[in-house]
């Protein structure tokens, strides 16, 4: 069956057809028969292989390491004296943005790429968090609690099967994400012509609704990230693929944290 996960869409046979994957109870390919190469397909029983396959422990360890690097980078920047952090924030965001696009589109599963992305965004998050906390004391702790709460809640929803990740849900979430990105770009361009742009980030009721929608999209993206990890394990992905999963979770959680930070600042005002 075709995958509901965008990260696996390209893993078919040449010409666009989907390849069947061997599993327990499935007919195994004949030895010596020509087969299409699929790096995520599990080998036949007793087949000689040197590949170590992905486990949930790999996903947890690599994700934890990526978040640790991000938090340490943010803490280091926050500790810098004066406004020194702001001199590093913009370059870090730009480089992280470009690096993130390369990792996402090329599906790079590399510790160097993922940890570099985490460190760069940690620099930006440290400066942003310090600025928000200076204006609204204690808001960073509240945003962190909210972020962990949403993460834990969506993980529970996924594990209990309350919301199942289906191809239809995936299309809805990806479509909503694209629409949100288009709106944010339009709002940015509007700032050149109107003082508050389209009013999506000015603290108005419209801005509050927009932030709530962004938080909702980020929450559902977490479901897609969890499903990506499960499906990669089921399909026998190599252990290094955990770095790509960690990257996806890092992107989603960072975006979720920033949106919750914005929302809390609107209520403080």
**Domain for residue 41, yes or no?**
no
Say yes or no to pLDDT of 80 above 50.
yes
Q: What is the rounded average pLDDT of the residues 65-81?
A: 92
**Domain for residue 10, yes or no?**
no
**Domain for residue 1, yes or no?**
no
pLDDT of residue 59: 94
**Domain for residue 14, yes or no?**
no
Neighbours of 126 (CB within 10 A): 25
**Domain for residue 223, yes or no?**
yes
pLDDT of residue 202: 83
- Which residues form the domain of 167? 56-268
Number of domains in the chain: 1
Q: How many helices (H) and strands (E) does the chain have?
A: 7, 0
Residues 6+ apart with CB under 8 A from 240: 109, 110, 111
Q: What is the rounded average pLDDT of the residues 7-25?
A: 37
**Domain for residue 25, yes or no?**
no
For the ranges 5-19, 51-65, 77-91, 188-202, the maximum mean pLDDT occurs at 51-65
Measured between alpha carbons, how far is residue 189 from residues 44, 177, 178, 249 in Å?
54, 19, 17, 29
Tell if the pTM clears 0.85, that is, is over it: no
Q: What is the pLDDT of residues 84-105, one digit of tens each?
A: 777 788 888 899 989 999 999 8
**Domain for residue 81, yes or no?**
yes
Q: For residues 256 and 127, is the Cβ–Cβ distance under 8 A? A: no
DSSP string, 189-256: HHTTTSTTTTSSSSSSHHHHHHHHHHHHHHHHHHHHHHHHHHHHHHTT-BGGGHHHHHHHHHHHHHHH
Ranges 12-26, 185-199, 255-269: which has the least confidence: 12-26
How far is the C-alpha of 54 from the C-alpha of 218, rounded, in Å? 25
pLDDT of residue 22: 36
Q: For residues 99 and 231, is the Cβ–Cβ distance under 8 A? A: no
Q: What is the pLDDT of residues 160-204, one digit of tens each?
A: 989 999 999 999 999 999 999 998 889 888 888 887 778 888 888
Q: For residues 54 and 230, is the Cβ–Cβ distance under 8 A? A: no
**Domain for residue 43, yes or no?**
no
């Amino acid at each position: 069956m075709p995958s509901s996960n965008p990260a696996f869409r390209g893993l078919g046979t040449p010409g666009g057809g989907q390849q069947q994957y061997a599993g327990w109870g499935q007919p195994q390919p004949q030895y010596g028969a020509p087969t299409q190469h699929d790096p995520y397909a599990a080998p036949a029983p007793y087949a000689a292989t040197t590949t170590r396959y992905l486990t949930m422990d790999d996903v947890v360890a690599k994700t934890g390491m990526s978040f640790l690097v991000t938090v340490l980078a943010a803490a280091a920047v926050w500790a810098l004296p004066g406004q020194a952090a702001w001199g590093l924030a913009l370059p870090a965001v730009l480089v992280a943005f470009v690096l993130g696009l390369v990792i996402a589109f090329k599906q790079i599963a590399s510790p160097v790429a993922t940890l570099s992305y985490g460190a760069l965004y940690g620099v930006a998050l440290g400066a942003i968090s310090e600025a928000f906390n200076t204006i609204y004391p204690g808001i960073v702790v509240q945003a962190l609690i909210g972020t962990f709460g949403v993460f834990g809640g969506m993980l529970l929803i996924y594990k209990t099967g309350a919301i199942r990740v289906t191809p239809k849900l995936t299309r809805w979430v990806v479509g909503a994400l694209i629409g949100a990105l288009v709106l944010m770009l339009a709002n940015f361009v509007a700032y050149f012509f109107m003082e508050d742009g389209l009013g999506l980030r000015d603290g108005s009721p419209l801005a509050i609704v927009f932030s709530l929608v962004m938080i909702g999209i980020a929450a559902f993206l977490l479901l897609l990230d969890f499903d990506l990890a499960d499906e990669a394990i089921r399909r026998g992905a190599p252990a290094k693929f955990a770095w790509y999963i960690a990257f996806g979770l890092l992107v989603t959680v960072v975006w979720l944290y920033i949106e919750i930070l914005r929302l809390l600042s609107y209520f403080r005002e």
